[in-house]
Structure 1
C-alpha cells in the first residue's frame, strides 16, 4: 500500500513532468494539428526564438532582441498558436472563443498538412501542403533536443551523411541506397543499391522533386516524381513520428531574414 509520502512524490513528479514537458518534439518546427505552441513556449533555432507570450503576442527574438510580432499584446490572455488545416497560422485564447489573429494567407489545399519553420536565416516560413512521404509513421514519436532533420531547397545530402531525429535516420549510403532507419533497422529504402554506382547524393530540388543522383550528377537513380517544373522553396523533413515528408512550396513568410547567419549553426546533415 502506498504511503502518504510516496503518493506525494508521485503527484509531484507528475506535476513536474506536465510542467516541463516540451509542447512540441520539433525544436524549430510547428506541425499542423499534432502540435500547438502554448503561452510561455517557444520554437528555437540557434540564437532565434519565436515565443507565444502570455499576453497573447507571438514574438520573434534575436539574442533576446525584438524582431517581429503579431502585434496582439493584451487582446486576450494565455493564447496559443496553431496551424489550421488550410495552412493558416492562427492565435486563439486558451479559454476558447474567437480567433484573435491569423496571417491571412491560406494554402491552396484546404484539408492538408503544413509546417511552420523557424529557419537558420531567422525567417519564419509556412510550407505546404505535403507533396510526398515515405509513409513510415511510427506510433512511438521520438524526442531530440538538437535535431538535424531538414533538407531545404537545393540542399544536398552527400554519401555517408544523414538527417537524424532521435532514433530515426534518413541515410544516403555509399552504395547509393537512400534508407530510413529506426534504431539501426531499415524500415524504408529506394532500392538503388547494387546498380553499379557509388557515392551518390540526394538533392531537394527547387521544382519539388527529391532525386538520388550518381556522384557526377549525370544519372538519376531514383525520384519522388513530385517536380512541378517551377522554381520555389520546399523542405524535406524527417519528422518526430519517423515519417519523411516533402512540404511546399512556401506559402507565407514573416520576412525576418537576418543580415548574417546566427552563430553555432545547426548542421542539417551528419555523417552516418
Structure 2
C-alpha cells in the first residue's frame, strides 16, 4: 500500500513532532490543553513538564545536545553540535511521530495506512504538507480541496473524485447518481459516503485506532491509524507492532 505522509515545520505552539522534524534548544511542544510540554534545555536535557514540575527526562544534563530530531527511520535522537549522538530512543518504525498529550502522557506513535486510493505517484511529490481530516470530519456536496496538482471534490452528482492537473480523473468512489448527501471521516475509522443516512460507499476501515484521512502531495488519499509504540509510563509497547 503506497502511502507517504509529509509534514513540515515546527510552529511556536506545536503539539507534536512529525517525522523529519527537529526540536531545537528551548523549543517547546505543548499539549492541547497547554498544561504539559516537552523542551530541550540548554543544559542538554530533554524534559517533559506538567503542572507539578518535571515528569520525565532523558537524563542527559551536560551532554552538549543542541537538537532533537524525529528521524524518518523512526529513531528519536539528541545530537551534539558536531553531529555526534548524545542519546537516542529507537521506536523501530519509519514515520513515527511524537505527541504531547493532554492526559499527561508523552507518546510515540507509528502511522499505519489501512486504506488508500492507490494513486501515489512519487514523481509528482512536491514539498507540500498533506491535508488531514480528523474525525468527525464532514464533507458536504461541493466541498473541494487542493494539494499541489491534485484536486479532490465531492461532486453534486454524488461522486467523490480525485483529479490530477485539473482534468484527469485518477480515482473516484463510483457513486455518481447515488444522491449522496454527506461524507464522514468517522471516529471509528471508517470513511463513509451516505445518502440521507444510508451508506452507499465505505472504506471498510472501522476499528482503526486514532484514525484520520490524509490527502497527500503524492496524489494518494489515505486513511491512517495511529498506534502507540512507546510512552513515558510503559516504555516500549511491543503489542503495537
Structure 1, unmatched stretches of 5+, are: 1-22, 256-272
SS in 1 for 2:70: strand
Distance 1:114 1:129, change over 3 A: farther
Deviations 1:58-114, CA, capped at 9 Å, x for gaps? 45689xx978664445333213221464x5x52221434446142x7x4xxx55444
TM, length-normalised to structure 1:
0.55
Partner residue, 1:90: 76
Give the structure 2 partner of residue 130 of structure 1: 113
* TM-score scaled by length of structure 2: 0.60
| Pairing of 1:98-247 with structure 2 (within 5 A) | 98=85, 100-102=87-89, 106=91, 110=92, 112-117=94-99, 125=107, 126-134=109-117, 135-137=120-122, 138-142=124-128, 149-152=131-134, 154-160=135-141, 161=143, 170-180=152-162, 188-206=170-188, 208=189, 210-223=190-203, 225=204, 227=205, 230=207, 232-239=209-216, 243-247=220-224
**1:259 corresponds to which residue?**
none
Q: How many residues align?
A: 214
The equivalent residue for 1:10 is none
Q: Structure 2: 5+ residue runs without aligned partners?
A: 1-6, 233-241
Residues 173 and 201, structure 2, Cα contact 8 Å, conserved in 1: no
Provide the rounded CA distance (Å) in 1 between the counterparts of 2:103 and 2:146: 20
Q: What is the CA RMSD across the aligned residues, in angstroms?
A: 4.5
Once the two structures are superposed, residues 193-232 of structure 1 have per-residue CA deviations (whole angstroms, 9 ceiling, x without a partner) of 42322323132452x4x43321333223242x4x3x6463
CA distance in 2, matches of 1:188, 1:230: 28
Deviation at 1:25, TM superposition (A): 4.3
Structure with bigger strand share is 2
- Alignment match, 2:228: 251
